[in-house]
Structure 1
Amino acid sequence: MGRKIALFLIWITFLVYTVWLDPLAQPETFSLVWKLLTFQLADVNAILVAIFWLMGVWPMIYACLMFADGTTQPFRSWPYFIGANGTGVICLIPYLIFRKSNQEFSGPKDKLLKILDSRWTGIFLLLTTIGLLAYAIFAGDWGDYIQQFKTREFVHLISLDFCLMCLVFPLTSLFGDDMARRGIKEARIFWAVALVPLFGPLAYLCLRPPLPESSADVSFQASNLTA
């Protein structure tokens, strides 16, 4: 319950703060977002480019854990995943608050879940992250970014949103439940992942064992293939 209260306080505080700043009321917000979406990056700070696209990596990290909940939750996870790609924690946290803890998986895995469960997906996300951060480090202007953070609402909020994605990850039961489904019981693994922002979860996705499927599910799939 303490985790859910903490998540709710983070959610309501950031929601009120976002509404108060109202970045959509600023005319330059739409033009900036359009440039980021259409890769018109000639006059856009590389640091902002990296943060913007890392805000697409983070929902994928959560999706690799969320979709294994399957039908055990009272609501589907995909609307929250889609919403998180546009609004970050504002759409993601409600799912994390209202989901029920689920430490079991009953297969079979569909095509989407097989992709999200694959270590190759984790490796792809890790390489994407490394590429974006390298771009920000070598091509970014930190002085300009700090100035934009102070003066442009969109840059300010997306930066805070990125930090909250990192903060929320160890607060939710989602990560611990995923470890339990895979038979990982080492508390040291939990803290090693939880205390390393972004790269901890990415390393976990690259190294975690696959979700086990019951023998009945595997037999059912085999019979369908030979039918």
Structure 2
Amino acid sequence: MNQKPVFLGIWLGLILYAAFIAPPNDPNTTTLILNLSTGSWEGINPLVISLFNLMGIWPIIYMMVLLFDGREQKIPAWPFVATSFGVGAFALLPYLALRQPNPEFSGEKNLLLKILDSRWLGLAVTLGALTLLGYGLISGDWQDFVRQWESSKFIHVMSLDFCLLCLLFTFTVQDDLKRRQTADDSPLQWIVWVPFLGALVYLCRRSPTIAKIAKNSTPKEA
């Protein structure tokens, strides 16, 4: 199945939805974003604080997969991943539409890729994500969050963006599993379908990336 039209369609649909269907902009949105970014969280619903910060965790999660994928692509992945720190799936969808299937990794891993390939980073990301998630779920006011979701474009679109990132991750890991020579019957094949938590488990449990051997390489003489 050609997934390019699907990703492009989702991207255009998301833009149109955010522009014309989502609730109008709240006049206090700029102040809210500034307070969330600077840690001035007094009076802000913990669910909003948690969601905002988890949207900063997602680009790190995607970086741990897509920077390996981008090694073999005609277009680099890093500009899209970097932009996703600000706009989430709005930045990642064009890359997913433009990329080609890539089940292999070649060359040496540089320092950044070695760090991104580390299970220790996966554990650190998981610890931070679970802390934020627990804080929001335990301390948050759900009635207030629903009210803001219905009245604020920022909260509304950010929530949908989070859900979409959960879904898109399942498509990004299929080639990543092959680059790591993971067995077809591995539980990781279906664990990634668990929203958000599946991505965290995947990063903690996946095997290291295995580079392919060049076909024209010859063994060295003893």
**Normalising by structure 2, what TM-score?**
0.89
CA gap of 1:109–1:24, structure 2 versus 1, over 3 A, is farther
Shift of 1:185: 2.5
Shift of 1:21: 5.6
Shift of 1:76: 1.3
Q: Which residue of 2 aligns with 1:151?
A: 151
**Amino acid in the other structure paired with 2:30:** F
- Does structure 1 conserve the Cα–Cα contact (< 8 Å) formed by 2:25 and 2:154? no
| Count of matched residue pairs | 214
SS of residue paired to 1:27: coil
Unaligned stretches of 5+ in structure 2?
A: 215-222
Match of 1:199 among 192, 197, 202: 197
**Amino acid in the other structure paired with 1:147:** R
CA gap of 1:166–1:214, structure 2 versus 1, over 3 A, is closer
- Does structure 1 conserve the Cα–Cα contact (< 8 Å) formed by 2:24 and 2:151? no
SS of residue paired to 1:169: helix
CA gap of 1:89–1:195, structure 2 versus 1, over 3 A, is same
**Amino acid in the other structure paired with 1:185:** A
State the distance in 1 between where 2:70 and 2:153 align: 37
State the distance in 1 between where 2:25 and 2:74 align: 36
CA deviations over 1:130-163 (Å, ceiling 9, x no partner): 1011111221111110110011111111011101
**Amino acid in the other structure paired with 2:129:** T
Give the percent of matched residue pairs that are identical in Structure 1 and Structure 2: 38
State the distance in 2 between where 1:93 and 1:62 align: 12
SS of residue paired to 1:107: coil
Unaligned stretches of 5+ in structure 1?
A: 217-227
State the distance in 2 between where 1:72 and 1:215 align: 14
Shift of 1:39: 0.5
State the distance in 2 between where 1:212 and 1:195 align: 24
The structure with the greater share of residues assigned to helix is 1
CA deviations over 1:161-188 (Å, ceiling 9, x no partner): 1011112222x3x311110011112245
Q: What is the 5 A alignment of 1:64-143?
A: 64-143=64-143
State the distance in 1 between where 2:157 and 2:25 align: 14
State the distance in 1 between where 2:146 and 2:207 align: 40
Q: Which residue of 1 aligns with 2:40?
A: 40
Q: Which residue of 2 aligns with 1:56?
A: 56
**Which piece of structure 1 moves more, 126-135 or 193-202?**
193-202
**Amino acid in the other structure paired with 2:18:** T
Q: CA-atom RMSD, angstroms?
A: 2.0
Shift of 1:6: 2.5
**Amino acid in the other structure paired with 1:114:** K
CA deviations over 1:183-219 (Å, ceiling 9, x no partner): 1122453542232011111111101111124689xxx
- Does structure 1 conserve the Cα–Cα contact (< 8 Å) formed by 2:47 and 2:141? yes
- Does structure 1 conserve the Cα–Cα contact (< 8 Å) formed by 2:179 and 2:209? yes
**Amino acid in the other structure paired with 1:152:** S
State the distance in 2 between where 1:147 and 1:111 align: 45
Aligned structure 1 segments of 4 or more residues deviating by more than 6 angstroms: none
Q: What is the 5 A alignment of 1:9-48?
A: 9-20=9-20, 26-48=26-48
Q: Which residue of 2 aligns with 1:181?
A: 179
State the distance in 2 between where 1:186 and 1:214 align: 19
Q: What is the 5 A alignment of 1:153-168?
A: 153-168=153-168
CA gap of 1:120–1:23, structure 2 versus 1, over 3 A, is farther
Q: Which residue of 1 aligns with 2:219?
A: none
**Which piece of structure 1 moves more, 65-74 or 97-106?**
65-74
**Amino acid in the other structure paired with 1:55:** M
- Does structure 2 conserve the Cα–Cα contact (< 8 Å) formed by 1:21 and 1:153? no
CA gap of 1:10–1:214, structure 2 versus 1, over 3 A, is closer
